[in-house]
Amino acid sequence: MRIMFVGDLNLGEYYPSFGHGPGTFANTSYIFANVQSIFDRADFVIGNLEAPITSRNIHKSEVERTVLKVQPAHAYQLKNAGFGLLQVSNNHMLQHSDEGFDDSLKTLTHLGISAIGLNNSPPVMLEQNGLRIGILAASDVPDNTNKQQTKYQCLDESFIERVKSEVTNFDHLIVLLHWGLEASTSPLLYQRQIADSFYQAGVSAVVGNHPHLFYEIEKRDNFICAYSLGNFVFDLCWDKRMVKTGILDLKLSKNNIYGKFWPIEIKKNGCLPTPSGEPEDINKTLIHYNLRKKMRFQQIRKSIYLILNLCRGNSLLKIKFIIEKLSRRS
């Protein structure tokens, strides 16, 4: 079985890209056009859905009604690309209410895409020619919208023990985790400790997201850990490190797992993932990008990016965002 994994998927738009981000790009263009030939080689494609699919307007502010929201009319692009499973355990899926989260699940079901990471849900199982793959997902990133995280699975001790108990039920168990720290350019100690405990328990792969950077990929025996796959469609373009990404390509047989990395760069204001080099085999720890030691001056970088792009796209909405931001500080 061949499964490809990608990082964060935002087919909506972030504040500095209103009117020229993925949501606008999807009106006229196919987001996954440049990677489709790679995806077509996989039996399953899996990613982290980082923005809810809904048309609800629950916020009073026009700015907040717009940010990080996928129009249902664009969701078919996920299906056309080959996504069969999407992780929904992350801190942005409830940004447009519990009902917006439910809208997302309904749309995914309509498209035939399985949601991974619902609260207390059993592993999603993939089966092919007698090979059984189980997939679980969780998040430990605090959610400001639903502080109890009752809609999706929380990464806690109970979940960790459940992962370990499920290992023997499948030929391979894969765990997707929304974890870590956006300000960090490398995995944190607790992430390495959890990954090591899963390795010891017999988990075959850990696939992480949330930091918006593509971290190292670790290979030990029959275990692969990608601590963070970074962004795959996301308009966080003020730092070039956040548009450097890739596809984790896993081939699984009854007793073995093989990994390959496809380097990708996100073009067109974070809208168009595009191959940027030849694939590399993962035989040991693979470090493809130089992320440096710190994420310095991110607020300044973001502000400069917003100012430089103020006259592009929906300028009025960007100005409203600036006014609201300044008014909250005063």
Q: What is the CATH number of the domain that holds 187?
A: 3.60.21.10
Q: Residue 38: its pLDDT value, please?
A: 98
Q: 10 Å Cβ neighbour count for 40?
A: 10
Q: Residue 330: its pLDDT value, please?
A: 66
Q: Residue 299: its pLDDT value, please?
A: 96
Burial 10-20 (b: 16+ CB within 10 A, else e): bbbbbbbbbbb
Question: How do residues 81-112 score in pLDDT, each as one tens digit?
Answer: 999 999 999 999 999 999 999 999 999 999 99
The partner residues of 133 in beta bridges, in order of sequence, read: 126, 172
Contact (CB, 8 A) for 49 and 81: no
Q: What percent of the chain has pLDDT over 70?
A: 100
pTM score:
0.98
- Domains identified in the chain, total number: 1
Instruction: Return all residues near 308 (Cβ < 8 A) that are at least 6 apart.
Output: none
Q: Which two tokens stand for residue 282?
A: 């993962």
Give the residue ranges of the chain where pLDDT is below 70. 330
Question: How do residues 220-260 score in pLDDT, each as one tens digit?
Answer: 999 999 999 999 999 999 999 999 999 999 999 999 999 99
Residue 319's domain spans which residues? Answer: 2-329
